[in-house]
Amino acid sequence: MFTGIIQGVATIAAMHDQSGMRTFTLEFPHGFCQDLAIGASVSVDGVCLTVTELVPPSAATFDVMLQSLNITTLGSYAVGSRVNVERAAKDGAEIGGHPLSGHIDFSAAVVSVTTSDTNLLLRFDIPPEFRKYVFAKGYIAINGASLTVAEVNRSEGWFEVWLIPETRRMTVFEQKQVGDRLNIEIERGTQVVVDTVREAVQEGLGKLQPVLEALLKEKGLTLEDFVQPRNLGA
């Protein structure tokens, strides 16, 4: 498990392809590898990877299967690419963000970037099948960072997040541009609540559900507007 609080930015020092797999060598910031062991989990741009070899003093290698390369952005990286990294959380660790599994649901493209002297506003697209899980003020993980959704428009298929100066300093987001794709992990608690409520609605309404959905659509609403989980975030 991870907390979504990025601990540093690593650089891809080398890559080696094998049949159905790619091995990455990452060069980490000073001190990141202290007590790191073979078999340990590290979040790399939000993807949970396993240490396969330690390369003292500050590097380690990771094997990534073809499926992960296809689902995530890891398949598009090159030597020199920079990535967000976080060590696995220890028992009793403070959860400064929200619990993450490191299992990516989809990658999303940056639709727009708005900058100010202090803040950075990023807008992302959302595949239709995942729009029902994204709520304003809810948690979402982007490249392994726990962030709060500022605004969302399900009909148009986008959501926005604001990045404070500390997040900009500690992550790779500052270099992201329109068209870049980032890894997204939806908040599991939200997913469970939404799916449970939808199943209950389907069972309760039966054949009336399509009629209700059509009426709501005329008003610019969806069933998801009435099943938003409470206390999703601040």
Q: What is the pLDDT of residues 76-111, one digit of tens each?
A: 999 999 999 999 988 766 677 788 999 999 999 999
**Residue 41, strand partner residues:** 50
Residue 230 CB neighbours (<10 A): 6
211 phi and psi, to 5 degrees?
-65, -45
Residue 102: the pLDDT is 93
Separation CA 113–CA 178 (nearest Å): 7
Alpha helices in the chain (DSSP H): 66-71, 165-170, 188-205, 209-218
Residue 213: the pLDDT is 72
From 134, 229, 233, 151, select the one nearest 185 (Cα to Cα): 134
Residues in the chain predicted with pLDDT less than 50, given as ranges, are 230-234
Complete domains list, the chain, with CATH: 8-87 (2.40.30.20), 106-189 (2.40.30.20), 191-219 (no CATH)
- Amino acid code (one letter) for 60: A
Say how many Å lie between the first and final Cα of the chain, rounded: 22
> Token pair for residue 114?
């708005």
Residue 233: the pLDDT is 44
Handedness of CA 126, 103, 161, 81 (dihedral sign): negative
Which DSSP state fits 33? Answer: T
Residue 188: the pLDDT is 87
- Amino acid code (one letter) for 81: S
pTM confidence score: 0.85
Residue 91: the pLDDT is 74
191-198 contacts, C-beta under 8 A, 24 or more apart: 191/133, 193/227, 193/229, 194/132, 194/133, 194/224, 194/227, 194/229, 197/227, 198/132, 198/223, 198/227
Separation CA 52–CA 38 (nearest Å): 5
